[in-house]
Chains A and B, each alone.
Chain A
């Protein structure tokens, strides 16, 4: 598929290292405005590293990462975030020395416009309406929350900033089915409100109904790309690639 004009993220020939280890070997990837895109692949295929490289959290990087028409390969993490990217890491990144509410308030709101568009951030009231548990636990230390609550907090935290492009790494991992269901509803709600979302998922059943497009990674490269409609046709290849 040719990259369309409205690509929010356009990655070309991305290589990334952790110290001496060469993890990404020329990743090409596009995310268009309002899309939910899922990165599939086995553990160690380079999906998490792709997100981290986008945020500038790996070691050396080469290639091109274009966000909203801006080349960010040289950007420090805080400058990438200020382009309107909300990053939710696999380990959730909830701070133990901060209360749940302090965790929620930690990321600064984006300045009034990003890429020429006014920022519409979710208010704290809207966030608490979406995740009522977080309000009840507002004054508990962040890491005293249950796994599910911590995951909701990690997602809620980046919604408050006004980021419209969300990078969500394994948000369904290790959670009870009822919470996974809740997170799926949240993703659909966000998609309807026009958020652009890049998911990294191990849980294929979780990701399959949510995503518009899929990328499959192996050995630090994208090996397969297809749209939601082509999913049934690719099930055999997927079984092979993912071992699902």
Chain B
């Protein structure tokens, strides 16, 4: 297919979907980068936390009649609290061990969570309606923009920007950066680093859950949605390089867009394009585009 024959509407439509997916990649890889930085744990449970975020929204609606806006607030808090519990019970025992143990443990937790939700809700998927206030679409003249998708991009970009601001521009963030470098030294200054580590994991979990709530109306809420996205998100993290907040956000968005573009130009490759890019980046810049060589 000649790329110049592609109708502009289809192109923009796919790019928008790419941007929405990219927003989820960005939010998830951001949390992964922060958790890896401070805890040294490759959090394979991140996809499961995202999945539980989406299910949380669906359950609140289905069982308790609480709408989307309540879910947006409550679900990240609940999953964040779950993250704190996971850190206290499991992760804090692993910090002195090889990172492989953290990876295996969180992978196991993800499988357990996925299994429980499969058992309870099956794999066919639940649908979650777009909230009333964000239904419909806006005609921009050159394309029709569904309101909810615009909201997802806006909400996740502001979340990423907010997280970046907190980490790079505030005292709390300075403490977090310092603890990532040398936790012992920070603790010797009177800061309770173990509590900070616990809350960081909770915040990372809450971020994943927030992405899950945002995703609920645009995808099928299924127990497998976590493992579907997490592999791509890890590829995003590898491409962007661990340790750079802005890097992981930009890489997430860019790869979403590239995926969307590929879907228009050569749809067969859209599922693998991220991994092809990952392979190329690994050959040329093993530390990732924004990563620092150690």
Let me know if B178 and A106 touch, CB within 8 A: yes
Inter-chain contacts of B220 with A (CB < 8 A): none
Q: Which of A95-103, A198-206, A212-220 contacts B (4 or more CB under 8 A)?
A: A95-103
Interface of chain A residues 58 through 116 with chain B (CB within 8 A): 76-78, 80-82, 87, 89, 93, 95-98, 102-103, 105-108, 110
Q: Which of A82, A96, A98, A103 contacts B190 (CB 8 A)?
A: A82
Q: How far is the CA of A217 from the CA of B222 in the complex (A)?
A: 66
Known interface pairs A57-B184, A95-B182; A78-B192 also in contact (CB < 8 Å): yes
Let me know if B188 and A161 touch, CB within 8 A: no
Inter-chain contacts of A96 with B (CB < 8 A): 181
B266 on interface, CB distance cutoff 8 Å: no
Inter-chain contacts of A103 with B (CB < 8 A): 178
Q: How far is the CA of A96 from the CA of B178 in the complex (A)?
A: 8
Inter-chain contacts of A145 with B (CB < 8 A): none
Known interface pairs A95-B177, A105-B171, A106-B174; A77-B187 also in contact (CB < 8 Å): yes
Minimum CB–CB distance from A128 to chain B (whole Å) comes to: 18
Interface of chain B residues 188 through 235 with chain A (CB within 8 A): 188-194
Minimum CB–CB distance from B95 to chain A (whole Å) comes to: 14
Inter-chain contacts of B178 with A (CB < 8 A): 95, 97-98, 103, 106
Inter-chain contacts of A106 with B (CB < 8 A): 174-175, 178, 186, 189
A8 on interface, CB distance cutoff 8 Å: no
Inter-chain contacts of B182 with A (CB < 8 A): 93, 95
Minimum CB–CB distance from B78 to chain A (whole Å) comes to: 29
B73 on interface, CB distance cutoff 8 Å: no
Minimum CB–CB distance from A48 to chain B (whole Å) comes to: 13
A39 on interface, CB distance cutoff 8 Å: no
Q: How far is the CA of A161 from the CA of B190 in the complex (A)?
A: 10
Minimum CB–CB distance from B189 to chain A (whole Å) comes to: 4
Interface size class of A (residues with CB under 8 A): 20 to 34
Let me know if A89 and B189 touch, CB within 8 A: no
Known interface pairs A78-B192, A78-B193, A105-B171; A97-B177 also in contact (CB < 8 Å): yes
Known interface pairs A95-B177, A97-B180, A102-B174; A108-B188 also in contact (CB < 8 Å): no
A155 on interface, CB distance cutoff 8 Å: no
Interface of chain A residues 157 through 215 with chain B (CB within 8 A): 157-158, 161
Q: How far is the CA of A103 from the CA of B185 in the complex (A)?
A: 12
Inter-chain contacts of A108 with B (CB < 8 A): 189-191
A55 on interface, CB distance cutoff 8 Å: yes
Closest Cβ neighbor of B178 among chain A residues? A95
Inter-chain contacts of B192 with A (CB < 8 A): 76, 78
Q: How far is the CA of A39 from the CA of B188 in the complex (A)?
A: 20
Inter-chain contacts of A102 with B (CB < 8 A): 171, 174
Inter-chain contacts of B177 with A (CB < 8 A): 95, 97-98
Inter-chain contacts of A55 with B (CB < 8 A): 188
Interface of chain A residues 22 through 75 with chain B (CB within 8 A): 55-57
Let me know if A81 and B190 touch, CB within 8 A: yes
Interface of chain B residues 76 through 110 with chain A (CB within 8 A): none
Closest Cβ neighbor of B192 among chain A residues? A78
Closest Cβ neighbor of B176 among chain A residues? A97
Minimum CB–CB distance from A116 to chain B (whole Å) comes to: 18
Minimum CB–CB distance from A56 to chain B (whole Å) comes to: 8
Closest Cβ neighbor of B185 among chain A residues? A93
Let me know if B174 and A81 touch, CB within 8 A: no
Known interface pairs A105-B174, A106-B174, A106-B175; A95-B189 also in contact (CB < 8 Å): no
Closest Cβ neighbor of B180 among chain A residues? A97
Inter-chain contacts of A82 with B (CB < 8 A): 190
Kindly list the 5 A-B residue pairs having the minimum CB-CB distance in the complex, ordered from nearest. A81-B190, A107-B189, A93-B185, A77-B187, A102-B174
Q: A78-B193, A82-B190, A102-B171 are in contact. List 18 more A-B contacts (CB 8 A).
A: A57-B188, A76-B192, A77-B187, A78-B187, A78-B189, A78-B190, A81-B187, A81-B189, A93-B182, A95-B177, A98-B177, A102-B174, A106-B174, A106-B189, A108-B189, A108-B190, A110-B190, A161-B189
Query: Which residues of B does A touch, CB under 8 Å?
Result: 171, 174-175, 177-178, 180-182, 184-194
